[in-house]
Amino acid sequence: MSVPLRPPVPLLAALFLALALLLTGCTSGPAPAKAPVGAPGQGAAGPESDAAVRRASPEPEPSPAEIPGLGPQTRAEIPEEARQAFVVTGEGEDANRSSAVLYAREDPAEGWVAVAGPWDAHNGMKGWTDHHVAGDLRSPTGVYTLTDAGGRLPDPGALLPYDEHPRFAVDGVGFFGEPLEGSFDYVVAINYNRTEGVTPLDRTRPLGLERGGGIWIHVDHGGPTQGCVSIPENRMEELLRTLDPAMNPVIVMGDAESLGR
């Protein structure tokens, strides 16, 4: 009786090893799980990722430019329809020297832009006041519309209604002895205590005579005024040719501290 031959031990071991490799592949452990799409370090972010949302958010629109030096209270007094603002800023509450800049807002989305100035100016001899009364020698602070112009000289090309009249003639001397002649060659009426739409010479005073009136922008005579604002003659001509009733012009006037409120 013959005995079956057994394979040598090393050969059996080699066969088992080959079979194991065929069943498990080249790794000795389970395959790593796939990282979720969009996980950190796993390539470009998907459309729902935080990074994609941040990139898709639009940039905020810039705020319209404001007039420098004006505080919220003063800005709120400027009518929404006003698109020209002649800003006269006094050096101090009791000072009679000022600086004037003309601003415009052609595009409300962009806001206010300086279009002329700064120009040297004078105001009332004793400065500024929130409550102007006749004879106080102070200019009234605030925001006032500009609708009417005039003067002793012929119309230089004003866009506002212009009243040429000899009654605009003036003589005498100012506070420092300077001659006043020619001061009213060109004027723009400031609508403080007056009726709009009439000549600057009109003396109607809706608030009463005690509250003063006849507050104008006029030609500078080299010294302080009774309460008006004055600028050089060539600047008055430029202002008259620029103030446009279609743009509802206003004057914003006062000392720097008051305008900053």
Pairwise pLDDT comparison (57 vs 216), residue with the higher score: 216
Q: What is the pLDDT of residue 68?
A: 96
Calculate mean pLDDT across residues 180-194: 98
Pairwise pLDDT comparison (61 vs 230), residue with the higher score: 230
Q: What is the pLDDT of residue 21?
A: 41
Name the average pLDDT for the chain: 85
Q: What is the pLDDT of residues 228-251, one digit of tens each?
A: 999 999 999 999 999 999 999 999
pLDDT value at 5 more than 50:
no
* Distance separating alpha carbons of residues 20 and 33, to the nearest angstrom: 23
Q: What is the pLDDT of residue 59?
A: 67
Q: What is the pLDDT of residues 87-122, one digit of tens each?
A: 999 999 999 999 999 999 988 888 999 999 999 999
Banded pLDDT at 55 (limits 50, 70, 90) = low
Banded pLDDT at 152 (limits 50, 70, 90) = very high
Kindly give, in sequence order, each residue whose CB lies less than 8 Å from that of residue 170, ignoring residues fewer than 6 positions away: 180, 181, 182, 183, 184
* Distance separating alpha carbons of residues 142 and 87, to the nearest angstrom: 10
pLDDT value at 64 more than 60:
yes
Percentage, residues of the chain above pLDDT 70: 77
Q: What is the pLDDT of residues 17-40, one digit of tens each?
A: 443 443 344 344 444 444 444 444
* Distance separating alpha carbons of residues 74 and 112, to the nearest angstrom: 14
Record the pTM.
0.77
Q: What is the pLDDT of residue 108?
A: 81
Banded pLDDT at 162 (limits 50, 70, 90) = very high
